Structures are given as structure tokens and as C-alpha cells.
Amino acid sequence: MLRVAVIGSGPSGVYTAQALVEQRAVPGIEVYVLDRLPCPYGLVRYGVAPDHEKIKSLQNNLRTVLEHPRVHFLGNVDVGAPGLGPRELRRAFHAVVYCVGAATDRRLGIPGEDLPGSCSATDFVSWYSAHPDAPAGRFALTARSAVVIGVGNVAVDVARVLAREAAELAGTDVPQTALGTFADSRVRDIWMVGRRGPSQAKFTTKELRELGSLPHAEVCVRPEELALDPAYGDPGGLPAVNRRNVEVLRGWAERPAPQEPDRPGTDRPGTGRPGTDLVRRIHLRFFLRPAEILGDAESGVRGVRFERTAPDGWGGVRGTGRYEDIAGELVLRSVGYRGTPQEGLPFDQEGGTVPHLEGRVLRDGVPSPGEYVAGWIKRGPTGVIGTNRPCAKQTAASLLADAGAGALDEEPPAQDPVTVLRQAGQRPVPWRGWLGIEAAEAALGRELGRTVVKIPDWDGLLAAARTTG
Ligand code: NAP
């Protein structure tokens, strides 16, 4: 019998567990999926936007795996805390697979980055996703104008959520306090700004297109700015996703409607678009590189100074020495996630990943039997949820090959995992504890006249888990 710990219950962790229990080469593997939070599903629960119900429903597939008889979910377990490093884990498990994702955000490294009102988009996402580490009152949305730096899918998510009316979010699982904040939102203009051209934006076309179909917001583009991109006029040679992005943007640029209102932060109630009630504008801007976040410590941010860029002919851009300020009292930096070092594991500072060979952790360049990685901590924060499946399969295959070759301990670990975790000071929440949280969130939804409403704090989650756990 082989006992494996998978650290992290997001898609990469769950797909790894699935690959391990659904194969026949090494029968009878028991997988313990440990998570720091009492709730499973990682970024599917705490990263996928609440209005993306279809992607969120992936939780049902992940759930099937976590309910497999040889998979055991244990939440509220802080791997890396004193007394629970790689060495202690190896006393309880033949192998450990770290699927811990990328826990923090990349920095811009420009003046003003830490002024009040300048936040990472991942903080904002955590807040509206009810992550228990995000204070319920973290965001007030008193700004008239919000500037989102970056043009990836996270930037699109936060811009879209900011552009929605509270009524559109009431049917989702956003926490009640955040819903109240959205109802009081004063945000009218949302600027999403890329440092390169439209053909190099990182968002995917489905997500981009969705911005154009929001019931109470319109997208504004500047045709002359889009045209600065050499591929704009002739996108035929671009990879499919970039070509389709350019086509969508061009469609918007060619609309007869006014493209770019001149004064940000002003109300423009309705533009005659039939059947709509326009409240907000999403301005897509390109070839602007952030140089400084403007403002002061007392009154917070008042905008972002960008340097205008121009294509350098090699896919990058160069500065032009010309600057443009975009006013905004809220700045969301959406320039990508970053992995953080794991206690006791080697770490590649540059990539924010754990060095590995086909998923085997490399210590001083040599594969370390029994230690593996999968997901963003293995390959960096890129790709969609499905990208984790082949990644997890590769790691599982390496682990199984090592087991087959006798590279993992032959002796069964001394103690049962729950005892080891308890001895390390942990209070694991088992699967039935999570079911208690689910039931409490459904009850809260009924009480508030909504569907499921997430519990946003540690005390509430742990209390709900205790009702069944
Ligand atoms: P991302 O796709 O890597 O996009 C990061 C953006 O930040 C890019 O526009 C990048 O521009 C820009 N950027 C980076 N450093 C910058 C700097 N110093 N100054 C200005 N701009 C800078 O990251 P993400 O949006 O966080 O998404 C992470 C992953 O999650 C992606 O694979 C994404 O597709 C996925 N995701 C998917 C969905 C979905 O499927 N609906 C939703 C959310 C996230 P450059 O290109 O010039 O570097």
C-alpha cells in the first residue's frame, strides 16, 4: 500500500489525486489531499469570478474525485508551519506532491505602488470571492474611476465584475458584505491598460467578447491607438487567439457609436443603445507602460502615470519619453501571479517555481525520491484550468514510475496521517466538515433570499465545519 499526500485541493491537486487513484499499475494507493483552508477547490472556489457559473460548476467534477473511497480530504492543515515541513510529512507518507499554486502577485516595481487605493487584483478577487484571509471591509468602491493595469484574463475578470450592477451579482455566491459594497459602488469608468499592443494582449477571446455584452456597461476603444499595432490591419499571421482578439477589438472600433468620451469620471446615462441602461464604461487602452502611481499617503491614489510605448519590431515595446496620466482613485495591479517559496523545498526565485524534472523535485539538480510538484508551482502561473490535467498526469506518472522502480520507501510510514498532523498541532477538517460548511452556506443563502452565499471568515467556516466534522 502506497500512501501519498497531495498538498493543495485546487485543480492541479485534485487532478493529481485522480491520476493516482484511477490507474492500475500500482493498485490500492491512498491519497490524502491536504489544504490550508477548511474548504476544497482552490482557485475554482477563490479565483474563478462569481459570475462565471459554468466554470465554477467544475467543482462538481472535482468533488467526485474528493469523494473517491481512496481519497481523503483534510482541510485546515498548514503545511510548512513549524513541525510540519517536508521531513515530518515524509514520516507519514511515502510520497508528497506539492500542488500549492502561486500564492501571491507580481510587483510592478514603480513609485507609489503601495499607496492606499493601489491594490493587487488578486486581493480584489480574494475579497469578492470571500477568501477568509481577505477582510470583509477591504474594499469600499468609493472611486469614480478605477485603473486596472494589465490585459490578462484576471484584468478582464476584475474589470467585468466592477462593471456589473449589484443586481447582476445577487444571484451568485458573493458574500453579503461585498454585495452591499457593489450596490453602493460609485465606480463609473474602468480603464484596462496594456503596455503592449492589442495583438499581444493575454486575455482570451471569449472573455474579451463578454465585456461587450454586459447589460449596463459599454466598451470604449480608440481606433487610432489600436492601429499603432503593426498586426492590427492584417492579423492573418497571428496565432488564432490573438487574431480573434484583434477582430473583436476592430469590430468595436468600427461601431458607429462614440468611441471614447473625453472626460473620465463623468456620468453618461445611456447612449441610446436600445434596451440598455448604461451605467459604466470600460476603456481598453494599449501601448501605455506604468511609470508611477500618483497620489500621497494621506489621500491615497489619484491616478497612474503611463509612458507611451511603441512596438520595437521584436514583439516588445520601447518607451517614447511621452507620458499620459489616467485619473483614478482605485488602482488594481493585474500583472500576474507569483509562486512563493515552500518551507524546506528548493525554489527558483526567478520563475517563482520549484525546480523539477517531469514533476520530480530537484534538490541540487538531483531528483529527490518521494517529492513532487504539479500545477502553477511546477510550471508557473499560466494556462487555463484544463492545462492542469496533463501537468498532473505527468507528475503522477513520475511518481508511479518511482514506486515501480522501488525508489520510494518500502516500509509503510509509522503512524496514520491524522495522528501525525495532530501531533504537529494541526486540527484537520475532514470532508464531512466541509459538507457542514456547504450546508451552512446554503442555509445562509435561503435566509438572505439568495442562492448559496459564501461564509467569508475563518471563525464562521470553522464553526460550520464543527457542526458535522
Ligand atoms: P497573465 O495572463 O500573465 O497577464 C498578465 C498581464 O500583465 C499581461 O497583460 C502582461 O503584459 C501584464 N504585465 C506583466 N508585467 C507588467 C508590468 N511590469 N507592467 C505592465 N504590465 C505588465 O496573468 P493573469 O491575468 O493574472 O492570469 C493568470 C493565468 O490565469 C492566465 O493563464 C489566465 O489565462 C488564467 N485565467 C483564466 C481565466 C479564464 O479562463 N476565464 C480567468 C482568470 C485567469 P505582457 O504581456 O506585456 O507581459
Q: How far lies 276's CA from each of 114, 159, 187, 270, 280, in Å?
A: 38, 19, 18, 7, 12
pLDDT at 415: 79
Q: Give pTM, 2 decimals.
A: 0.94
Element (H, E) at 95: strand 95-98
Check if the beta carbon of residue 328 is closer than 8 Å to that of residue 145.
yes
pLDDT tens readout for residues 119-170? 999 999 999 999 999 999 999 999 999 999 999 999 999 999 999 999 999 9
Residue closest to 111 by CA, chosen among 337, 304, 381: 304
Under DSSP, the state recorded for 131 is -
* Residue bearing the CA closest to ligand 1, atom 11: 150
Q: Where are the alpha helices (DSSP H) in 174-274?
A: 176-183, 205-211, 223-226, 240-253
pLDDT at 263: 45
Mean pLDDT by runs of 10 across the 469 residues of the chain is 96 98 93 98 97 95 98 98 92 95 96 98 97 95 97 98 96 96 96 98 97 94 96 93 97 73 43 60 97 97 98 94 98 97 95 97 96 98 95 98 88 81 96 98 97 97 91
* Residue bearing the CA closest to ligand 1, atom 4: 152
CA 384 to ligand 1 center in whole angstroms? 12
Q: How far lies 198's CA from each of 150, 242, 284, in Å?
A: 12, 8, 9
Instruction: State CA 206 to chain mean position distance.
Output: 17
Q: What count of other Cβ atoms lies within 10 Å of the Cβ of residue 265?
A: 14
Instruction: Please give all residues whose beta carbon lies within 6 A of any atom in ligand 1, as ranges.
Output: 108, 149-155, 157, 194-196, 200, 202, 207, 290, 334-337, 381-384
pLDDT at 278: 81
C-alpha dihedral (41, 436, 444, 427), degrees to nearest 10: -70
Residue closest to 290 by CA, chosen among 330, 335, 257, 247: 335
pLDDT at 410: 66
Residue type, 82: P
Best substitution site from 153, 204, 208, 312 to test ligand 1's pocket, by max atoms within 8 Å of Cβ? Answer: 153
Q: What count of other Cβ atoms lies within 10 Å of the Cβ of residue 310?
A: 13
Query: What sign results for the dihedral spanned by CA atoms 241, 244, 248, 253?
Result: positive
Q: Which residue has the cell 481606433?
A: 223
CA 61 to ligand 1 center in whole angstroms? 26
Instruction: State CA 78 to chain mean position distance.
Output: 20
Under DSSP, the state recorded for 39 is S
CA 202 to ligand 1 center in whole angstroms? 6
CA 203 to ligand 1 center in whole angstroms? 7
Best substitution site from 122, 205, 335 to test ligand 1's pocket, by max atoms within 8 Å of Cβ? Answer: 335
C-alpha dihedral (139, 141, 144, 147), degrees to nearest 10: 40
Alpha-carbon span 445 to 135, nearest angstrom: 20
CA 415 to ligand 1 center in whole angstroms? 43
Alpha-carbon span 442 to 451, nearest angstrom: 7
Q: Where are the alpha helices (DSSP H) in 234-310?
A: 240-253
pLDDT at 176: 96
Check if the beta carbon of residue 122 is closer than 8 Å to that of residue 154.
yes
Count of alpha carbons within 13 angstroms of residue 224, beta-carbon side: 1
- The 3 state secondary structure assigned to 307-334 is EEEEECCCCCEEEEEEEEEEECCEEEEC
Check if the beta carbon of residue 229 is closer than 8 Å to that of residue 315.
no
Ligand 1 atom at minimal distance to the Cα of residue 200: 46
Ligand 1 atom at minimal distance to the Cα of residue 110: 18
CA 201 to ligand 1 center in whole angstroms? 8
Q: Could you give the domains of the chain?
A: 3-103+339-427 (3.40.50.720), 106-337 (3.50.50.60)
